[in-house]
């Protein structure tokens, strides 16, 4: 092979290396991890089915939900401007009640598989300071549900601050619910309301 042919071959090989995709996959966006952990825990809960009691289901989901969600921040947003007027003890009590309700909702809604399946999209969208992780929930007897998890970086970690279920914001629904309870009886009514909702979910 002549020197000229050798140089030409080297140039072609270099060009191929530059245009070919890397064999090593790009690292997933860190915002995907908490959503994957949450959906994996929900899938495990569904697979357990009737073999797991509501209490067992709650206990297994509680640490995962608390890790995935920015529950203190969400609670403050839901309460709104009145948050600053609450005492530190009342703030802690509302956060605890909202956390219990959130975990109980998951324990209640994901009790059996029946063909349900989560698909988490690794292609993350950025919206200002937040990130959107798309998730698809395949339902056995209905159209698939589209879930959008909005995450915000809190204390160096990406955490869920809202979930859009087929376009409906869970955070907006909770803000409306909180406002009604606060308007009828203040913080005591809100805490009682959230605990009553949790109690009902845990019974069924």
- What's the CATH number where 78 sits? 3.10.450.710
Q: Give the total number of structural domains in the chain.
A: 1
Cα pseudo-dihedral 113, 140, 99, 53, rounded to 10: -30
What is the pLDDT, as a whole number, of residue 141?
76
What is the pLDDT, as a whole number, of residue 38?
97
Query: Which has more pLDDT, 147 or 6?
Result: 147
Contact status, residue 66 vs residue 99, Cβ threshold 8 Å? yes
What is the pLDDT, as a whole number, of residue 2?
53
Query: Which has more pLDDT, 140 or 161?
Result: 161
**How large is the average pLDDT for residues 145-169?**
94
Angle between helices 170-203 and 54-68 (to 10 degrees): 160
Q: Is residue 121 part of a domain?
A: yes
Q: Given a cut of 70, is residue 82 above it in pLDDT?
A: yes
| Burial class, 88, CB count within 10 angstroms (exposed 0-12 / middle 13-18 / buried 19+) | exposed
* Model confidence, pTM: 0.84
What is the pLDDT, as a whole number, of residue 101?
98
Q: Is residue 13 part of a domain?
A: no
Query: Which has more pLDDT, 7 or 16?
Result: 7
Q: Is residue 20 part of a domain?
A: no
pLDDT, tens only, 107-146: 999 988 777 889 999 999 999 999 999 999 988 777 888 9
Q: Is residue 173 part of a domain?
A: yes
Q: Is residue 9 part of a domain?
A: no
What is the pLDDT, as a whole number, of residue 178?
97
What value does the CA radius of gyration of the chain take, rounded to a whole number of Å?
23
pLDDT, tens only, 20-69: 444 345 668 999 999 999 999 999 999 888 888 999 999 999 999 999 99
Q: Is residue 15 part of a domain?
A: no
- Token digits of residue 137: 């929930």
Q: Is residue 14 part of a domain?
A: no
Range of the domain at 41: 28-203
Q: Given a cut of 80, is residue 92 above it in pLDDT?
A: yes
What is the pLDDT, as a whole number, of residue 22?
43
Q: Is residue 3 part of a domain?
A: no
Q: Given a cut of 50, is residue 19 above it in pLDDT?
A: no
């Amino acid at each position: 092979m002549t020197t000229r042919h050798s140089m030409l071959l080297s140039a072609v090989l270099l060009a191929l290396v530059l245009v070919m995709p890397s064999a090593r996959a790009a690292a997933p966006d860190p915002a995907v991890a908490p959503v994957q952990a949450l959906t994996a825990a929900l899938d495990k809960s569904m697979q357990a089915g009737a073999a797991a009691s509501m209490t067992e289901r709650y206990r297994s989901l509680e640490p995962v939900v608390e890790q995935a969600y920015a529950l203190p921040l969400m609670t403050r947003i839901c309460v709104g401007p009145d948050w600053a007027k609450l005492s530190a003890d009342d703030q802690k009590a509302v956060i605890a009640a909202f956390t219990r309700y959130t975990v109980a909702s998951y324990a209640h809604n994901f009790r059996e598989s029946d063909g349900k399946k989560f698909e988490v999209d690794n292609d993350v969208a950025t919206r200002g300071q937040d990130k959107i992780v798309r998730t698809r929930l395949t339902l056995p007897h209905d159209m698939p549900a589209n879930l959008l998890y909005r995450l915000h970086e809190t204390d160096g970690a990406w955490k869920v601050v809202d979930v859009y279920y087929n376009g409906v914001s869970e955070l907006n629904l909770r803000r409306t619910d909180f406002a009604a309870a606060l308007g009828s009886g203040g913080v005591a009514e809100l805490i009682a309301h959230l605990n009553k909702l949790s109690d009902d979910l845990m019974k069924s």
